[in-house]
Structure 1
Amino acid sequence: MELSTVADIPEIEPGDDLAAIISERADLHADDVVCVASTVVSKAEGRIADLADFPAGPRASEIADRLAEITGEEKDPRFAQAVLEESVDLLMEAPFLLTETRFGHIGVNAGIDRSNVPGGDLLLLPKRPSDSAARIADGLPTDRVVVTDTCGRPFRYGQRGVAIGWAGLPASRDWRGQRDRDGREMGVTVQNVIDELAAAANLVAGEGAGGTPVVVARDFKFGDLPGSDNHFRAIEGDYVRQALRGWSYKTGGEA
């Protein structure tokens, strides 16, 4: 597989046609996978907001006050309100906000970005990133598109690229029933292909001012293994998430 960035992507504004912008700058093949950062998808879809759009309610004010007490830094309750409104479940209220978005992604602060937001205070994630991926794919020579974001992972330091939306290929490929090198049948291995593509794309896209929001993966072969769109783990099988429901953060002075 070969990964290459798409150069000279301009600053994206609401209403821009991402597919047309990408097609003009990349010689795409029918089996390419186009990985697009959620930041430019959100900008094209007008997901830019001001803190004033989210007047804080009592719960948001309470959350902001507690976070300020824990961190020693002032917290804007309007930001907490924005996180609450962009979420369907609040898994952790302290020492940071860990939430589930409407489309099933779990991350800090509902994935709301406060950097690189010209014309606003906040950049919200796309409402339905897989629908966004499908719309972009409609205007490209390839139907394989992955919308990417970056987030941290439990038990690991730092952030990595992850997929939050996709079109044109299964989310995972299933190795169960295949044989390993010793001839033993594999019973649990399901490979999250779109996350791995997102991580590979993020590695070459970079971060900060020098980052590039579109990466093309060429010659990726899914193979003839069974595939599925299982991506976000269901609550009944997510034991870490179940454990969080009975957990609460306590500072050094709390009993």
Structure 2
Amino acid sequence: MNVFAVPGIPEVEPGDDIAELVEERIDLEPGDVLLVASTIVSKAEGRTANLAEFPASPRAEELADRLGEISGEEKDPRFAQAVLEESTEIIMEAPFLLTSTRFGHIGVNAGIDRSNTGDADLLLLPKRPNESADRIRSALSQDVPVVVTDTCGRPFRHGQRGVALGWAGMPASRDWRGERDRDGHELEVTVESVVDELASTANLVSGEGDDGLPVVVVRDWEFGNHEGSDNLFRAVDGDFVRQALRGWEFARD
């Protein structure tokens, strides 16, 4: 497959049409997958905010005080309040805030960004990334799948990688269960998260700093003759790591 960034995407403003910005710069082809960084989706949807919009509650004050004590740096309780308002659950309170967003993604600080925010203090994740992906896809002249991406850390490993927040026009996963390996054994548990794999692939060419390449095209890749699934975020009752973290307390050595 071929992977390349779309050059020349300008600074995105509220109300901008991402599909139009893309198609002004590239001709999409049947079979392409369009991957769009959540940063510009959020900007187009007006998801910037200032800390003054989040007066701190007692709970936010408590979280900020504890994090400040652990880190030795003063923490702004208004930021903690923003995280609270963008989350359905605080899974870990220390040494950082690990939260579940309203659309099911789990990440640090509800995915709120304090870089590449323009004139605002904060950049919030899209409210409903699947709907965002579908809007972009519907506005394209070529019918191609769209994936909204972000970067986040991973348990048990250093570093960040690209992940999918929302998608439209393709399943989230390839389901290999029921197929057979080279020895004829039936696969029983393998479900491949292709939207995450495509998001990580896009991240290799879009970069993380000031590259200014928030849109990537994957070309000549095929989903294949597999069953598909839209299950990406684990249900709470089957997420045993999440359940374990709920009962875990941070202890400083």
TM over 0.5: yes
Q: In structure 1, what is the equivalent of residue 60 of structure 2?
A: 60
Matched, 1:186 2:194: no
CA distances 1:4-24 after superposition (whole Å, capped 9, x unpaired):
110000000001011100111
Deviates more, 1:137-146 or 1:74-83: 137-146
Query: In structure 2, how many angstroms separate the alpha carbons of the residues matched to 1:142 and 1:3?
Result: 18
CA contact (8 A) 2:130 2:167 kept: yes
Matched, 1:123 2:123: yes
Percent same amino acid among aligned pairs? 69
Q: How does 1:84-123 map to 2 (within 5 A)?
A: 84-123=84-123
Q: In structure 1, what is the equivalent of residue 206 of structure 2?
A: 205
* Matched length: 252
SS state at 2:78 partner? helix
CA distances 1:99-131 after superposition (whole Å, capped 9, x unpaired):
000000000000000001112100000000010
Query: In structure 2, how many angstroms separate the alpha carbons of the residues matched to 1:78 and 1:111?
Result: 15
CA contact (8 A) 1:134 1:143 kept: no
CA contact (8 A) 2:9 2:212 kept: no
Q: In structure 1, what is the equivalent of residue 227 of structure 2?
A: 226
Two-structure CA RMSD over aligned residues (Å): 0.7
CA distances 1:220-252 after superposition (whole Å, capped 9, x unpaired):
111111001000011111110010111111112
Query: In structure 2, how many angstroms separate the alpha carbons of the residues matched to 1:50 and 1:20?
Result: 28
SS state at 1:210 partner? coil
TM-score normalised to structure 2 length: 0.98
Compute the displacement of 1:142 (Å): 2.5
Q: In structure 2, what is the equivalent of residue 151 of structure 1?
A: 152
Q: In structure 2, what is the equivalent of residue 50 of structure 1?
A: 50
Q: In structure 2, what is the equivalent of residue 21 of structure 1?
A: 21
Give 1:106's aligned amino acid. Answer: I
Q: In structure 1, what is the equivalent of residue 250 of structure 2?
A: 249
Query: In structure 1, how many angstroms separate the alpha carbons of the residues matched to 2:177 and 2:116?
Result: 42
CA distances 1:177-202 after superposition (whole Å, capped 9, x unpaired):
11111111111100001000000000
- Name structure 1 gaps, 5 residues minimum: none
SS state at 1:42 partner? helix
SS state at 1:209 partner? coil
Query: In structure 2, how many angstroms separate the alpha carbons of the residues matched to 1:206 and 1:143?
Result: 23
- Name structure 2 gaps, 5 residues minimum: none
TM-score normalised to structure 1 length: 0.98
Query: In structure 1, how many angstroms separate the alpha carbons of the residues matched to 2:161 and 2:212?
Result: 14
Q: In structure 1, what is the equivalent of residue 238 of structure 2?
A: 237
CA contact (8 A) 1:172 1:230 kept: yes
CA distances 1:7-58 after superposition (whole Å, capped 9, x unpaired):
0000000010111001111110122100000000000000000000000000
CA contact (8 A) 1:91 1:244 kept: yes
Query: In structure 2, how many angstroms separate the alpha carbons of the residues matched to 1:168 and 1:161?
Result: 19
Query: In structure 1, how many angstroms separate the alpha carbons of the residues matched to 2:216 and 2:144?
Result: 15
CA contact (8 A) 1:99 1:110 kept: yes
Compute the displacement of 1:211 (Å): 4.1
CA contact (8 A) 1:33 1:142 kept: no
